Structure 1
Amino acid sequence: MQKVASLPLPSADALDASAALSICIAGAIDAAGGWIGFDRFMSLALYAPRLGYYSGGAAKFGRDVNDGSDFITAPELTPFFARTLARQFAPLVRMNLPRVMEFGAGTGRLAADLLLALETEDALPDTYQIVELSGELRARQQATLDQRAPHLAGRVTWLDALPDRFEGVVVGNEVLDAMPVRLYARTGGRWHERGVVCAKDGKAGAEAFAFEDRPLEDGAIPAVLLGIPGDHDIVTETHTEAEGFTRAVGALLARGAAFFIDYGFPASEYYHPHRTGGTLMCHYRHHAHPDPFLYPGLQDITAHVNFSGIAQAGVEAGLQVSGYASQARFLMNAGITELMMSLDPSDARAFLPQANAVQKLLSEAEMGELFKVIALTRGIDDAMPLDGFARGDRSFAL
């Protein structure tokens, strides 16, 4: 196991849980003949029952390393994120689409703040459904709702699986990046799939893991990789699971709009020949590093989103791409600066923290440009455009 300098050390109990997950992953590798694709490793590391990063009890979401969390998301930064989304969602809810469904609800902060904001917009949904498999996260979401919006918590229900049919607004903030990816490496002009094998780390036989590449026959190379020019060495990812998830959303969305907010690029940027190292990244105690084998189950593993693939999957499922823009442009179009005018700039204690948080959402050097918003719709009248994409829509780049 490669150690990364300056990372905080886990507790003894956390290390024991990580070791248990490592044994589980090693068993899966052994059962598969000694090698598994990286997507299988990532799936186990994040979602193995009771042991994976998202299915276990780690804090995950928070403000800084002192609260035991690993990263912060936009809803945790400021309620103005949810309030701005509500300005976009409210007209849809009023169009006889009185249900909202959220994927990747995290702490429940977005759900609570969205409900409060939609109440202010006089557009409360009849029901707010959260698709969540983790019992620990469900409990945390319920606690957040009870604390921040107790009078609205009764509108929230949790789902174990996707419904067959849904009419309403779907939202997923930083959910696509957490879906397992397949890794590929082009070396010596030939494409390989990069998988995972077991490797003892020399400490009492503790399980450790390493990459191993397996060459691909021409017919097994994903088409998107064949479009990368040159024969120089390169490592990248494909997003079969996220695209399959998008098709599933398309299959159930009978009428309404699905908004996904995440960091990523269109395919022309994602698979640019100069992007030779891929986008795989890990997050542990608010440190970003590239080693997915460090502390299995205790760290997040992510990859940037190929929004062209998401758009294509949506279209294949019968959805329309109704907008694609940077997060900054979307939030400004939807009125985040107008909402900020409700604060008194002379009250520095109240104004400055919110102004700084909103600046982080909008700044090109922070989340404003790297994060994108895509809207996939069905049955929405074109006469009612989505305000978030009124200016700066980049759908043409997909």
Structure 2
Amino acid sequence: MIPPVPVPDATAQAHSERLLELIRSQIRAHGGVIPFSRYMELALYAPGLGYYSAGARKFGADGDFVTSPELGPTFAECIAMFSQQVLLQLGGEADFFEIGGGSGAFAEAALRHFDAIGTVPARYLILEPSADLRQRQQQRLQQALAPALFERVRWLDGPPEARWRGVLFANEVLDALPTPRFLVQGGEVYEQHVALSPEGGLISVDQPADALLRAAVRHIERDIGTPFADGYRSEVLPQLPYWIQAVGGLLHDGAMLFVDYGYPRSEYYLPERDDGTLVCHHRHRAHGDAFHWPGLQDITAFVDFTALAEAGVNAGFDLAGYCAQASFLLNNGLPERLAAIGQGQDPVEQHRRHNEVKRLTLPGEMGERFQVMGFQRGVETRPAFARGDLTRRL
């Protein structure tokens, strides 16, 4: 059920209808159905029309949701403190590679803190598939940063194409990867598809799963030690190992760090979670209707962190650690950031910054809902996860 949300204005509705017509044409061109993952890809990333490709404001109080970097600089400063340890171990030419730059708030705060602690990466790389967001990031960083810092920023159209060294960082990226949805019925695996109703609306239909999806579901069943009950529906990313290899395979020495909401596999596929984890965001309202105003809402699914651990290790990395966001921040400079907040700032700013830290760390806010997983190759980063390590739950 959709909670009450503001009705989009006429321009936004027309935009959604243009995307809907593109989706209809794709469905007709593919025999009347497309996989849900393809629908999600179009809804989020269709050039000029998808949610992340068009110009509407996504992040912050005026958008659809708030990410950690939008609250203030503390999150980015702690990530910079973690990254400093990696960059110092590598020495010389080492890069920082951010996937999905959002509004540019993270890059701005991180680069300023890298500069303040005297460990600026050789290059700050941003992979941003949205032309609109890339332009906004460029404008923001050019205005906010000293020229010498801004000159280190490079925007990429794809992952680095040559071997590199440094830190790969992705905050709330994995949850937006287009995901297949599966259904188990009569002991068989089906994949959710999208078709058209007689009136031209979008409806869900299930078709037999292909070999890749079927194998992924059977792997989960073996790992959790029980078959899924009839009617169980959820998400799985069989393409995750290929994605990790694509974005991090050429990282010769360094660390990969992923922050997202999710669960270890045993909790992700609990019997009671029998309709999956799919969630949509529109004007700070969360709901489960992925067909509601395509192009005007975010569509995400929680992350199976056990699958992420498997993918990273299979790509040739060591698992460095896994913990809640609050634990990670406390391990990586948050106490020092709190001390700095209390020095030389007016009471109003101190209050705002303390509220920022509360939202980042409290269990009822982002502190436990968001998880952090790190991988390493040729460096040592396990101390960054020492407090509150949860790898035993994977």
Q: Tell me if both proteins adopt one fold, taking TM over 0.5 as the criterion.
A: yes
* Aligned pairs (5 A) from 1:229-308: 229=227, 231-308=229-306
The aligned amino acid for 1:214 is Q
* Aligned pairs (5 A) from 1:27-66: 27-62=25-60, 64=61
- In 1: Cα distance, 2:23 partner to 2:348 partner: 49
- In 2: Cα distance, 1:82 partner to 1:159 partner: 21
Residue aligning to 1:204: none
* Aligned pairs (5 A) from 1:83-232: 83-95=77-89, 96=91, 98-151=94-147, 152-164=149-161, 165-187=163-185, 189-201=187-199, 207-216=200-209, 220-222=214-216, 223-227=218-222, 228-229=226-227, 231-232=229-230
Give the length in aligned residue pairs.
Answer: 384
How high is the TM-score relative to the length of structure 1? 0.91
- In 2: Cα distance, 1:296 partner to 1:268 partner: 32
What is the CA-CA distance between 1:238 and the residue it aligns to? 0.5
What is the CA-CA distance between 1:299 and the residue it aligns to? 0.7
- In 1: Cα distance, 2:173 partner to 2:69 partner: 13
Contact 1:70–1:283 (CA<8 Å) still a contact in 2? Answer: yes
The aligned amino acid for 2:353 is Q
Contact 1:334–1:387 (CA<8 Å) still a contact in 2? Answer: no
User: Which deviates more from structure 2 when the two are superposed, residues 343-352 or residues 281-290?
Assistant: 343-352
The aligned amino acid for 1:149 is L
Whether 2:337 is the aligned partner of 1:343: answer no
What is the CA-CA distance between 1:344 and the residue it aligns to? 2.7
Whether 2:64 is the aligned partner of 1:70: answer yes
Residue aligning to 1:81: 75
- In 2: Cα distance, 1:16 partner to 1:224 partner: 43
Q: Give SS of 2:85's match.
A: helix
- In 2: Cα distance, 1:255 partner to 1:114 partner: 21
Per-residue CA shift, 1:372-398, capped at 9, x if unaligned? 111111111x4xx44320222122322
Contact 1:180–1:241 (CA<8 Å) still a contact in 2? Answer: no
The counterpart of 1:393, out of the listed 377, 389, 394, is 389
Q: Give SS of 2:183's match.
A: strand
The aligned amino acid for 2:157 is D
How high is the TM-score relative to the length of structure 2? 0.92
User: Which deviates more from structure 2 when the two are superposed, residues 366-375 or residues 184-193?
Assistant: 184-193
The aligned amino acid for 1:350 is E
RMSD: 1.9
- In 1: Cα distance, 2:125 partner to 2:119 partner: 16
Residue aligning to 2:9: 11
The aligned amino acid for 1:137 is L
Contact 2:196–2:202 (CA<8 Å) still a contact in 1? Answer: yes
Report the CA distance shift for 1:167/1:26 in structure 2 as closer, same or farther (over 3 A): same
What is the CA-CA distance between 1:216 and the residue it aligns to? 4.4
Per-residue CA shift, 1:278-310, capped at 9, x if unaligned? 100001111111000011111110000111111
The counterpart of 1:324, out of the listed 304, 322, 325, is 322
Q: Give SS of 2:274's match.
A: coil
Unaligned runs of 5+ in 2: none
- In 2: Cα distance, 1:108 partner to 1:221 partner: 39
- In 1: Cα distance, 2:377 partner to 2:351 partner: 40
Per-residue CA shift, 1:81-109, capped at 9, x if unaligned? 11111111112112225211100110111
- In 1: Cα distance, 2:35 partner to 2:242 partner: 17
Unaligned runs of 5+ in 1: 202-206
Contact 1:35–1:195 (CA<8 Å) still a contact in 2? Answer: yes
User: Which deviates more from structure 2 when the two are superposed, residues 348-357 or residues 293-302?
Assistant: 348-357
- In 1: Cα distance, 2:292 partner to 2:28 partner: 20
Report the CA distance shift for 1:57/1:359 in structure 2 as closer, same or farther (over 3 A): same
User: Which deviates more from structure 2 when the two are superposed, residues 367-376 or residues 246-255?
Assistant: 246-255
